[in-house]
Every structure is written in C-alpha cells, then in structure tokens.
A and B are shown apart, each in its own frame.
Chain A
Amino acid sequence: MGHAASPSGFRYIGAKRRTKEDPRFVTGRGRYAADVALPGLKHVALVASPHASARIVSIRTDAARALRGIHYVLTGEEFCATTDSLPIGVDAPKVRRWSLAHERVRYAGEWVAAVVADSRALAEDAAELVEVEYEPLPPILDPEQAMVDGSPLVHPAYGSNVILHRNFVWGPVDDQFAAADHQLEFRAVWSRSATVPIETFAVVGQWNPGTEILDIWASIQMPKFPDQTANALRLPGNAVRVHYDIDVGGSYGVKRGLKHTVLVGYLAKRLGMPVRLVEDRLENMRGGDMHGPDRLFDMKVAFDRDGTIRALKIRAVDNVGAYAGRAPFQLGKPVSAICGPYLIPAIAYEPVAVLTNKTPQEAVRGFGQAPTNFALERTMDRVAQFLNMDRVALRKTNLIRKEQFPYTIPSGSTYDSGDYHTVLDKALAAIDYPALQRRRDAARQAGRLAGIGIATCLEPSGGNSAFEPLLNSKNQTTTWMDSCLVRVDLSGSITGIMGTSSSGQGHETLVSTVIGEILERDPMDIRVVHADSLNALPSNSPVGSRMAIMLGGAAAGAARKIKDALIAIAAHNFECAKEDIAYRDGNASLKGVPEKVLTWGQLVEIAHRKFHAMPPDIEPGLQAKFVWEVPTGGGLPTPDGRIQIYPCYAFEAHIVYVEIDPATAAPTIKQYICGHDCGVMINPDIVHGMTYGGIAHGIGAALYEKFTYDDNGQLTSGTFMDYLIPSALEVPPIRIVDHCTPSPLTTFGQKGSGEAGYLGAPAAVANAVNDALALLGVELNELPLSHLAIFETLCKTTLNKRAPNKRPT
C-alpha cells in the first residue's frame, strides 16, 4: 500500500474534526468495567502479603468463612492445583506464577487469598479475618546484589536471579573505540515509575453453564488476552468471550490484568455467580503488577574531537521484580532504535533482566524506549560538555540526514523516513532559541539556577514484537497483525468493526475517518463498534503505537474492498470495464456519461436484494474484512542478532527551559516546545492530545514519580500522597510544532504517535536540570530529579563551597 503523495490531498484525514467518542464521555455515559452491574454480582477482596519474601506456613480461613454474606475464600493451594501458570516471555519456564501465591510469597502486596462476598465492604471485613502464618525470609531488592552468587534466590527452582542476559555486538565496536579521539563513561539511572492510569484495573466475570461460556468485561489493553485467559483456566479459547466494548480509563501499556482476570474467571465458574474485582489504589500500586522499567545504564561512548560519535557500549540492568511476564522484553524493543536518531556505526548492547523481591513489572508506554532515550540523550549532553561544543551543533553533526533514508541501523532495523534537521530547526525557531539562551543567561545573572534542555528522540511505531524471537529463540512469532471489518447495511449505513478495546486513543474516530476517506462518505455517519472476542477479528491491541498504522491500514483495506465491489456492480450493470467507472461520494457513474449513474442507495440495494443484477464473482451483501500484517514484519533475527523490529519511526525534538529556585530547590518548567514528525496525522487533535499527555507523563518520570521501597521491601509510595502525578500546575503550557514526513510504508503516510512526548520529555527535562546545575559543577543522572534530590545536591555544593572559608576547629 503506497501513501498518497500529498497529505493535503485528503478529504477528512488531517482535518480538524471532532472525535466520535467525546460526547459520551462528557455526559457521563462512558461504560467502564466497574460500571458493569449484573444481577447477583459478588465482590472480591484480596489478602495481600505483608512480607517481601516469606514462606507461607499456614492459612486459616474459618473465621472469614463464618461471616454472613461471605461466599468463598480461595487460597493458592486450590487455585494452583486447578489452573495453569501464567505465560512468561523469556525462556525461563521454572519462574512460574499464578494469581495467588502458593507456599511462598515473593513481594510485599502479592495476593495470598481472595474472598468473595455480597459487597466489597463485607469482603474486606472477611479478608481481615484470614489468618496467614509466614516465616519471613531475607528479601533481595538491589539488582546488582541479586546477581552476586550466594544472594537469596527469588525463585530457587530457577537457580539464578538473572532471567535474561545477552551480549549483542553490532559493528566494529572495539575498533571504533580504539580509533576514537576520546571516550567517556558514566552511569544513568531510570527509577521505577509507571503510567498509573486514574482508573485502576477492574474485571467482571460471569460463567454461563448453559452455553459454557465465560463472559469477561475488563479494563484491558493486551494482545492475546482471551487466549491466555482460556489457557490458564484450562478452557478452550472459544469458551472465553471478552467484551471489547468496555471503555478503559487510561492504560498507556499497563492494563494487562491477566492475573486478575484468571482469578475472577475461576471464581465466577467455581461459584456460578457473577464476580467483580476492582483494585483499590493501594492494591493497584503494590500488587497490581504494573510498575515500569527500573533500570541502570552503564554508558560508554567513543567520539572524535569534531563531535562525531563513533561507537556506544550500553549495559542495561533492569530490576524486573518478583515474576516476569513480558516485562523483560522491555529491554528488547530499544534494539529497534538503539542508536536513537543518530549515525552511530557500531554498538554493543548488554541487556540484563534481574529478579528481585519488588513488584513485578508490566509494559509501560514506550516499552523501554523512554529510559533508553534518556540514557542516549544524557550521553549526547555529556559529550557536548566534554568537548565544550554547542549541544545543538553536536546533535546536528550526528543526526541521520534526510537523504540517507531509508536508513538501516547497526542492529538491523531500517528507519522508514525522516527529516530530523528540519524538525529540530523548526523547534529552535519556534522557541526563538537565541532569545531563550538570553533569558537563561539573564536569570543566571540574577542569581537563579536556570537551564535549557534539548532531546532529539525517536518513537518506533507500528507495534511489531519481533524482539520476542530476538530474546527467546523458542518464540517464533513473526506476525503481529490487525484487522477491520466494514459492512454496509441495507439502509446504506456503514459500520466499521474492530477487534480490541480502546483506552482513550480515539479508535472510533480513526476507523470512521479512514473508511470515510476511502468511501468518500461522512465519517460522522459511520458507526464503529468493538466486537467481542468470539465475534472479533485478529487483533494485537493498541500496543507499541500501532493503531494509526495497523488498524488504520486494516480499515482502509476493508473499505477498499467495499469500494471495489461497488465499482464492480456498477460496471456489470453498465456492461463496461471497471476502469470505465468513476466513483464519487459513493455513487458510481460511467466515465464521461455522468447521467449514467448508480447512486450509493441503488448500489447497496443491488448488493443486498438483487442477485440478478450482481456480477458473478462478487458475494452478495456488502461486507469486507481485511487483515494486515505489519509492514516490514515477518522476519526472524539473524544469528548475530539483527532484526527489523518496528516499521515506522517518528521523531521528536524537545526544548525545555527550567529554573530552579535557589532557596527551595524547586524546579519549575518555564517553557516547553516539542517539534514532532509522525508523518500524516489522521486526527491532529488526537495526536496532539496524546503528545501533550506523553510530555506530562515524562515530566512526572523526570521530576516526581518513583515507586520507592524501604530496606524490607515495603512499597513506601502506594498512594497519590507519595507517588506524585503532575497536576495542571506542574505541567506548563506546551507548544507542539508539527512537521510531516510521510512514511512510505503505510496507507496514508501515517506513523504511530501513542507514545509521543513521553519518549523525549524525561531526557529533555533531565538535560535542562543538569544544564542549570552545571553552573555548580554538579550533575544528577538518576531520575527522578526530585525536589529533594536537587535540594540535597545544592546543600552539598553550598557546603563544599563554604568549606575553605571555615575556620579550623
């Protein structure tokens, strides 16, 4: 599928248009999983481990069972014997995991028992009466410590805490290091944070013994969710029906409550009652298993005195927590853009995933790319500082040039298109960079700490998880398709059907816009529905910034089939070749004879009622399905670990200005601009909205958010009082400067944008704070650069400064 030459040639795509979804949300008519009220609904409360590591000696449930209104108390003993363990991504089958712990708990907050009652309050009362006797074991929390022989093992049966460890070398790394004028090395730390949607995870399950179907309503954003639920419950796939018409209250990667759903499915079937589990906030933060990467980067860079980067060595150690689903793969996606937007010919990459007694991780927006971009951009600033070179000039020296696309990076992915220099220049012009520098310098003169941060980053998009076979040779997944079905009913109304749920990305707007574009019908009149998983089409869900590309491409493909059928019907009735038909606004006429026309209504009627007027090779009824494989997908890695992962690469150039109050150490973002090129935007308001949101989230990761633990492995930031999500006062007004370099690989030239903003904001903000601190000769490379961390740094430097003046005592 080629893209149209000019984005401006579209009728609906790219125009400012209201979304289809917003009206139902502003009237309170969204339907979220917690809103599903079924007659006789029962409620689940959980008993969670207070210990980070312990042996379960005994569980007594009689007191809990004796309460009125209590229907069941389930423990791991029964559950693990009757269900299968949840899937694991890397090749470590002995790291097994169920929804409920059995014999051993491996993190504080891990679920030990589940209580079902008439109300959530009663279930919580009973949960408090479940008596669990533990034998505490020493926890291991530090990943580097956990790698040392003799450290406590999180999964003794597995025999090590290292669950993934690879060494990739792409290109002549050692030669480049030997030949380079300079090299430097440093450590950058990305602390554990997450997307933390305002809606916690919720799931409702109902088993129908008559049909033998388990119905699931869940706030889910997850590929292969129905299949994995069925597998764990030892049910055939067609016995689980996931209702994808549930609105999801934010996800950005993490809404993957497989363990919640398997538990609820089990209870619903076991009890023959509809059952609901809604996490409370502490359960979500502690035991919801939705933390993001927790990563140490040891960076080594080789470069010449003119600023040319020759090679990188990256060691990334991620603390994945107590169990591992797909989380270690978050070290894999960055292989897709391991050199960022730069011409770096040789790279060594050593990803290590380590088990500890922290909460398990889940996929977080960008799937490991944002931490990698942070480490890369800190590296660029360090090199610039070392060479005393302007940071913009250094980046421009190394950015891939427009004429070099398509450009294949050392690790095997080919970047589809881009014009990085132009996007950076547009951002610099829009913020008036010389004026910004003057503003910073004036602030410094006035005694304030002020800094400018720049980050030029990539957003790989099109969600193709080819990192799976790269990191697990037993996994041969090479398709990551998505699909759409378009039907035109007898009244001539169009319906687009998709096979997954949405969590705010505006897929109904996307699909209707694309179908409207192809069929030349008003998108506002096109309905889009989410089929349930038994009616649904193959989908891999909205992960990896893929839906504009994949669902958009599938919707276009299906709509084109409808259009072809309409043209064929007209050609048959006019007894002419299909090429002689002119299609306009849904009507088909004989070229050059405009009065010879079959209108939309007439064509639809032929397709639905008049078989005698149908061409012989066209099915009656107007319905078409299109399943699209990821463009460039389908390949397995080479023996030396090169692989095309994502198809499309969007680019973002962030420029941010920060001032730090010298008295309180509070950082304030005063100006923020983001140059952004994600190809053709299907709905600019949606793209901009996700980019603003991604930047806000990135500001959180850079300055405020961290899942902190004490030495015993207790999460100490389990509420919104101590896990700080930026409010409208911390997030500044943001200006986005658009640029459009169409992708040659997609239907309309679009690229993904669901992770936009977040992939560059933490790097840019960290660079700005460090530019401010550079005046004092100090550097902070551990996120978040919290108010406290800055304060402590300022105190130390002030003390150091004062030290020589101190009188000897």
Chain B
Amino acid sequence: MTETLYGISAEVNGTVRAGQVVARTSLVDWLREHLHLTGTHVGCEHGVCGACSVMFDGEPVRSCLMYAVQANGHRVTTVEGLQRPDGQLSVLQDSFCETHALQCGYCTPGMLIAAQALLDANPRPTEHEIREAISGNLCRCTGYQQIVEAIALAAQRMGEDAT
C-alpha cells in the first residue's frame, strides 16, 4: 500500500512553509511532526479539549479536526507566532505570566489562541464572555480562575495602551 503525496504550501506564523503530506495527515500532525512546531498540543483528537487550537485565516480552529491539505494556501498562526515581532511576550502572554494562568502548560497554547480570538473580536469582554470564549478549551490544572483573570487583565492593559 503506497499512499499518494500531496504538495501543500501555507503561511505559518508569517513564513511560507511547503511540504508533502498524505491525504490523511491532520493539520496538527503536519504542524507538530513535519514543521516541528510542537507548541500546539494534542489532547483528544476528537475536537473537544481545544488543546490543538490554532488561528486559521484569523479564526480559531481545532487543528486535530482538519486535514493538512485544507491549509493549502491559507494562513495559520500557532502559539509560536503570538509573540511581538521583537520577540517580547504579547500583552496576553505576559498577563498569563502575571496571574499564573497555567500550571502544566499543556492547555495553554490553545487557551492563548481562544483568548486572543476573543480579544480580537471583543476588546472589552465581561467575565461571562471570557468564560464562554474559553469554554471549548479544557484545563485540568487551574480551575480557569487565573486564566479568566489573565484575559481580563490583558483586555484592561490593551485598553490602556489604546487610549
């Protein structure tokens, strides 16, 4: 049994990355195993835990539920692409450190993607909106409290920066 290889090319964290994959390769496997972007994690491979979340053309998606070939010609941002261009932590990343919004760090990349997507769409979320936005991302360590605090803090800081 030989599987056909398909050529794909996508903009990943601002750089065009090309590769050859078999049709059944998931997007998360391509990112992790082929591009060695291991910041994106795998928790369930059935679309529930959110650990594999990445930005796809600016929208959060579950990369375990997508095929790598679907990314052909699209723009993907992973946790490795969230820092500022100068390499400093983003406001959101720094806020996660400030409130200790993580323990084992396993859900963190997906949480950051979900939170970033929220703040992009809604710069001043209420606590309930924050909880709703991350409710598709499971964390077993934190009980979510310090994550909610971090996102609220990031929103506040970004608001201050904007004024």
Listed in ascending order, the chain A residues whose CB lies under 8 Å from chain B are 18-19, 21-32, 34-35, 37, 67-68, 121, 125, 195-200, 247-252, 280-281, 503-506, 685-686, 688-697, 719-721, 725, 727-729, 731, 733-734, 757
Which chain A positions have C-beta within 8 A of B63? none
Q: What does the 1/0 interface line of B86-112 toward A look like (CB < 8 Å)?
A: 000100010011111111111111001
Asked whether, in the complex, the Cβ of B78 is within 8 Å of the Cβ of A199, the reply is no
Interface of chain B residues 133 through 150 with chain A (CB within 8 A): 134-148
Given contacts A250-B141, A281-B45, contact A21 B136 (CB under 8 A): no
CB-based nearest B residue for A19? B100
Contact of A728 among B2, B99, B131 (CB under 8 A): B131
CA distance A362 to B32 in the complex (A): 30
Kindly name the residue among A200, A689, A725 whose own CB sees the greatest number of chain B CB atoms within 10 A: A689
Asked whether, in the complex, the Cβ of A731 is within 8 Å of the Cβ of B97, the reply is no
CA distance A686 to B82 in the complex (A): 25
Asked whether, in the complex, the Cβ of B105 is within 8 Å of the Cβ of A18, the reply is no
B65 interfacial contact with A, CB 8 Å: no
Contact of B51 among A198, A685, A733 (CB under 8 A): A198
Asked whether, in the complex, the Cβ of A29 is within 8 Å of the Cβ of B39, the reply is yes
CA distance A107 to B132 in the complex (A): 38
Asked whether, in the complex, the Cβ of A725 is within 8 Å of the Cβ of B140, the reply is yes
Which chain A positions have C-beta within 8 A of B79? 26-28
Asked whether, in the complex, the Cβ of A728 is within 8 Å of the Cβ of B135, the reply is yes
Which chain B positions have C-beta within 8 A of A29? 39
Q: A709 CB to closest chain B CB, in angstroms?
A: 20
B40 interfacial contact with A, CB 8 Å: yes
15 chain-A/chain-B pairs, Cβ below 8 angstroms: A18-B97, A18-B100, A19-B97, A22-B96, A22-B105, A28-B109, A30-B105, A250-B103, A504-B102, A685-B99, A686-B100, A689-B142, A727-B135, A728-B131, A728-B134
Contact of B93 among A19, A27, A697, A725 (CB under 8 A): A27
B120 interfacial contact with A, CB 8 Å: no
Contact of A26 among B38, B44, B93 (CB under 8 A): B93
CB-based nearest A residue for B150? A26
Asked whether, in the complex, the Cβ of A733 is within 8 Å of the Cβ of B106, the reply is no
Interface of chain B residues 1 through 55 with chain A (CB within 8 A): 1-2, 22, 24-25, 32-33, 36-46, 48-49, 51
- Contacts A198-B106, A249-B41, A694-B143 supplied; 6 other A-B pairs, CB < 8 Å: A18-B97, A26-B97, A197-B104, A249-B106, A504-B104, A728-B137
Asked whether, in the complex, the Cβ of B145 is within 8 Å of the Cβ of A198, the reply is no
Asked whether, in the complex, the Cβ of A25 is within 8 Å of the Cβ of B105, the reply is yes
Contact of A504 among B37, B44, B49, B105 (CB under 8 A): B105
Q: A598 CB to closest chain B CB, in angstroms?
A: 37
CB-based nearest A residue for B98? A18
Which chain A positions have C-beta within 8 A of B122? none
Asked whether, in the complex, the Cβ of A729 is within 8 Å of the Cβ of B97, the reply is no
Given contacts A125-B1, A727-B135, contact A195 B140 (CB under 8 A): yes
CA distance A198 to B140 in the complex (A): 7
Asked whether, in the complex, the Cβ of A695 is within 8 Å of the Cβ of B143, the reply is yes
Q: Name the 9 nearest CB pairs between A and B, nearest first.
A: A28-B39, A25-B105, A249-B106, A504-B104, A504-B103, A692-B143, A696-B143, A28-B79, A720-B48
Kindly name the residue among B83, B103, B104, B106 whose own CB sees the greatest number of chain A CB atoms within 10 A: B104
CA distance A214 to B136 in the complex (A): 40
Which chain A positions have C-beta within 8 A of B51? 198
Asked whether, in the complex, the Cβ of A734 is within 8 Å of the Cβ of B100, the reply is no
CA distance A200 to B46 in the complex (A): 14
CB-based nearest B residue for A697? B140
Which chain A positions have C-beta within 8 A of B57? none
CA distance A720 to B41 in the complex (A): 16
CB-based nearest B residue for A69? B1
CA distance A679 to B2 in the complex (A): 62
A-side interface mostly: loop
Contact of B143 among A280, A503, A734 (CB under 8 A): A734
Given contacts A26-B96, A32-B41, contact A728 B144 (CB under 8 A): yes
CA distance A505 to B142 in the complex (A): 11
Kindly name the residue among A195, A280, A721, A731 whose own CB sees the greatest number of chain B CB atoms within 10 A: A731
Which chain B positions have C-beta within 8 A of A37? 33, 36, 38
Q: B42 CB to closest chain A CB, in angstroms?
A: 7
Kindly name the residue among B24, B139, B141 whose own CB sees the greatest number of chain A CB atoms within 10 A: B141
CA distance A35 to B42 in the complex (A): 11
Asked whether, in the complex, the Cβ of B105 is within 8 Å of the Cβ of A281, the reply is no
Which chain B positions have C-beta within 8 A of A34? 32, 38, 42
Which chain A positions have C-beta within 8 A of B102? 22, 25-26, 504
Asked whether, in the complex, the Cβ of A689 is within 8 Å of the Cβ of B104, the reply is no
Which chain B positions have C-beta within 8 A of A27? 39, 79-80, 82-83, 89, 93
CB-based nearest A residue for B24? A121
Which chain B positions have C-beta within 8 A of A280? 45
Q: A700 CB to closest chain B CB, in angstroms?
A: 9
Given contacts A28-B109, A252-B140, contact A68 B131 (CB under 8 A): no
Which chain B positions have C-beta within 8 A of A686? 100, 103
Which chain B positions have C-beta within 8 A of A31? 38
Asked whether, in the complex, the Cβ of B44 is within 8 Å of the Cβ of A719, the reply is yes
Q: A524 CB to closest chain B CB, in angstroms?
A: 12
Contact of B104 among A23, A248, A697 (CB under 8 A): A248
Kindly name the residue among A28, A67, A195, A689 whose own CB sees the greatest number of chain B CB atoms within 10 A: A28
Q: B65 CB to closest chain A CB, in angstroms?
A: 13
Which chain A positions have C-beta within 8 A of B99? 685
Asked whether, in the complex, the Cβ of B80 is within 8 Å of the Cβ of A28, the reply is yes
Asked whether, in the complex, the Cβ of B80 is within 8 Å of the Cβ of A690, the reply is no
Q: B114 CB to closest chain A CB, in angstroms?
A: 10
Which chain A positions have C-beta within 8 A of B45? 280-281
CA distance A18 to B142 in the complex (A): 16
Q: B105 CB to closest chain A CB, in angstroms?
A: 3
Contact of A503 among B98, B104, B108, B112 (CB under 8 A): B104
Asked whether, in the complex, the Cβ of B1 is within 8 Å of the Cβ of A67, the reply is yes
Which chain A positions have C-beta within 8 A of B147? 728
Which chain A positions have C-beta within 8 A of B146? 685, 688-689, 692
Q: B9 CB to closest chain A CB, in angstroms?
A: 22
Which chain B positions have C-beta within 8 A of A21? 105
Which chain B positions have C-beta within 8 A of A503? 104
Asked whether, in the complex, the Cβ of B107 is within 8 Å of the Cβ of A198, the reply is yes
Q: A220 CB to closest chain B CB, in angstroms?
A: 13
CA distance A22 to B146 in the complex (A): 13
Q: B92 CB to closest chain A CB, in angstroms?
A: 8
Q: A364 CB to closest chain B CB, in angstroms?
A: 12
CA distance A272 to B128 in the complex (A): 54
Given contacts A198-B138, A728-B134, contact A692 B48 (CB under 8 A): no
Which chain A positions have C-beta within 8 A of B109? 28
Q: A339 CB to closest chain B CB, in angstroms?
A: 28
CA distance A689 to B147 in the complex (A): 10
CA distance A28 to B35 in the complex (A): 14
CB-based nearest A residue for B22? A121
